Structure 1
Amino acid sequence: MTIELKVPNMACGACAKTITQAVIELDPKASVKADPKTKQVIVDTKVSESSVKDAIAAAGYPAA
């Protein structure tokens, strides 16, 4: 399942790395593309969208 999210407060590469790590901890096989310029995160995972959003929010980056 591919999930596309907007993360308004993702501002830099370090933010993207933190978001990526949060998703990988939830699903080690997930593919994560986080782009601070567009503020978009694309996740290919078997985990539910709500779980991905929760993991990103717990890392300090709530998704819109």
Structure 2
Amino acid sequence: MLTLSIPDMSCGHCRSAIESAVAALDPQAATHIDLPARRAEIDTQASPQAVIAALAAIGFAAAPV
């Protein structure tokens, strides 16, 4: 399980964009978004670096918690 802090995530559109980016990287991934905490928990086979890079590519800076 990868837990990421995503400070710029603030709305449903952000949630959707992040879920789509993770799914494009790993279609089997399970993503749980906590908007108030601005965190995402991602259960994926992809490396943390790959997930962080995929989120950066869509404009979201992310860091492991």
Same structural fold, with TM-score higher than 0.5 when normalized by the shorter chain: yes
Q: Secondary structure at the match of 1:24?
A: helix
The alignment's TM-score, normalised by the length of structure 1, stands at 0.93
Runs (4+) of structure 1 moved beyond 4 Å?
none
Matched with 1:9 is 8
Structure 2: which 5+ residue stretches go unaligned?
A: none
RMSD: 0.7
Identical pairs, percent: 38
Matched with 1:58 is 57
Aligned residues: 63
The alignment's TM-score, normalised by the length of structure 2, stands at 0.92
